Every structure is written in structure tokens, then in C-alpha cells.
């Protein structure tokens, strides 16, 4: 009986967590700025597999435990209770979560100085307040509560990549609009079209929920078997 339930739970997990080309579940990913003609474009780059996804069709999924929010203060700012992304790639792998960074590694001379990843738009769909933050050490980099024009920028040196930690106030779907800009020696900074980046922050299913679902699937399969 136990082995049957475990088998059914495995089947249910496969049913409720289908991996698609548009949903990023785990691994080391960077929001990458690269030159396209005279503009800077953004894409979602897999740091390990060397593959690219357009931001417009990508959803980054974070499965947090229902009680996993923690009180966060950054510098002098008290951000309240947040779902916080893992500190590093090792922790992210252990939690089966994606590790998201920012990359300007593809940019070379004549680019100089940092590339700015600026958050220019924000929306939230969910039942809570829906605030998103990006912070690094004591620096608050992005703040969705600051209002349009004041969300903030994350600066990354040319030829390098860096990571911050994301904090989400509530479960739900977060959509941010990003634009990259940098200096290639032109009279004005080089930028490009903005791109949408989506975070789907969902509660992690409990073992009890999985077993209950597995039991329901088992009853359904049993009924079908005896009817056939």
C-alpha cells in the first residue's frame, strides 16, 4: 500500500509540475544585456546550459512554504515580512529554486562603465499588497513601492555578472518591466526596448496535500478499473 501511494504521489507531482519551455524552475539564470545592432537587448540566459529565452515568454516560478516569510531590513529600510529568494546557487539547488542574476558579460569594448538594469514598470496580480524588492547587502536596489520613475537600477560592470536577492511581500504573479542602458562611447547612453519579466510566487504543496491528491487519483483509477 505504501509503495502504491508513493508511486501515485510521484505521478501527481509530474502532473502538477509540468516543465515547459516558458517556465523556469531551477538552475542558474541571468537577465543578460547584449548588443543588437545599435541597441541593448535583454534576454534570459541559462548560465550552465548556454541557452537563451526571451523575457517576454518566460515565467520564473518560486515555490515557497506557506510559512516561510521572514522579517527583512535592508540598511535603514524595514521591508516587513517577505518571501526571500536563496542567497546563492547551492542553496537554490537544495531548495529546487532558480538562482537569478544579471549579466553584462557579453559586452566588451567600446563599452565602458556599468550597465544599468532599470526597473521602469511594475504590476501585481494576487490577494495581497504585492510589493517586490531587490537588495544586495545593505543596499536596496529595486523597490516597487517607490512609484514609477523611482523603482531603481541595478548596475553591473561590463564583462561581469552579479546577483541580488529578491523579496516578495505576498504570493501571486509579479510582472516587472526592465530596460538596459550603458555607455559605448556615443554622446548619449545606449539603451533598447524594454522587456517584461515575470515571477510566479506560489505556495509549496505539502506532503499531506500530495498524498490526499494521490489518494483521490488512486480512488478514481480504482473505480475505472472495476468499471472496465
Q: Rounded CA gap, 89 and 70, in Å? A: 20
Q: Where are the domains of the chain?
A: 23-205
At residue 92's C-alpha, the angle toward residues 89 and 96, to 5°, is 135
Which regions in the chain score pLDDT beneath 70?
1-21, 66, 205-228
What confidence tens digit (pLDDT) does each residue in 168-192 have? 999 999 999 999 999 988 888 899 8
For 213, the grid coordinates are: 491528491
Q: Is 227 exposed, middle or buried (0-12, 13-18, 19+ CB in 10 A)?
A: exposed
Sheet strand arrangement including 161-162: 52-53, 39-46, 27-36, 98-103, 161-162
What confidence tens digit (pLDDT) does each residue in 47-89 have? 877 778 878 778 999 999 867 899 999 999 999 999 999 999 9
Amino acid at each position: 500500500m505504501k509503495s502504491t501511494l508513493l508511486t501515485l504521489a510521484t505521478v501527481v507531482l509530474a502532473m502538477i509540475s509540468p516543465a515547459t519551455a516558458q517556465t523556469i524552475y531551477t538552475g542558474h539564470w541571468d537577465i543578460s544585456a547584449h548588443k543588437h545592432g545599435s541597441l541593448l537587448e535583454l534576454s534570459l540566459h541559462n548560465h550552465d546550459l548556454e541557452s537563451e529565452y526571451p523575457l517576454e515568454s518566460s515565467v520564473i516560478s518560486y515555490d515557497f512554504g506557506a510559512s516561510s516569510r521572514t522579517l527583512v531590513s535592508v540598511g535603514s529600510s524595514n521591508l516587513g515580512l517577505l518571501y526571500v529568494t536563496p542567497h546563492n546557487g547551492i542553496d537554490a539547488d537544495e531548495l529546487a529554486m532558480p538562482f537569478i542574476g544579471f549579466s553584462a558579460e557579453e559586452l566588451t569594448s567600446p563599452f565602458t562603465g556599468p550597465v544599468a538594469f532599470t526597473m521602469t514598470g511594475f504590476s501585481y496580480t494576487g490577494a495581497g499588497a504585492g510589493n517586490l524588492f531587490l537588495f544586495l547587502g545593505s543596499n536596496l536596489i529595486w523597490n516597487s513601492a517607490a512609484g514609477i520613475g523611482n523603482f531603481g537600477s541595478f548596475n553591473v560592470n561590463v564583462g561581469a555578472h552579479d546577483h541580488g536577492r529578491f523579496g516578495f511581500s505576498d504570493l501571486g504573479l509579479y510582472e516587472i518591466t526592465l530596460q538596459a542602458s550603458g555607455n559605448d562611447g556615443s554622446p548619449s547612453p545606449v539603451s533598447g526596448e524594454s522587456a517584461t519579466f515575470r515571477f510566479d510566487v506560489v505556495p509549496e504543496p505539502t506532503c499531506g496535500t500530495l498524498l490526499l491528491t494521490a489518494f483521490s487519483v488512486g480512488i478514481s483509477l480504482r473505480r475505472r478499473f472495476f468499471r472496465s
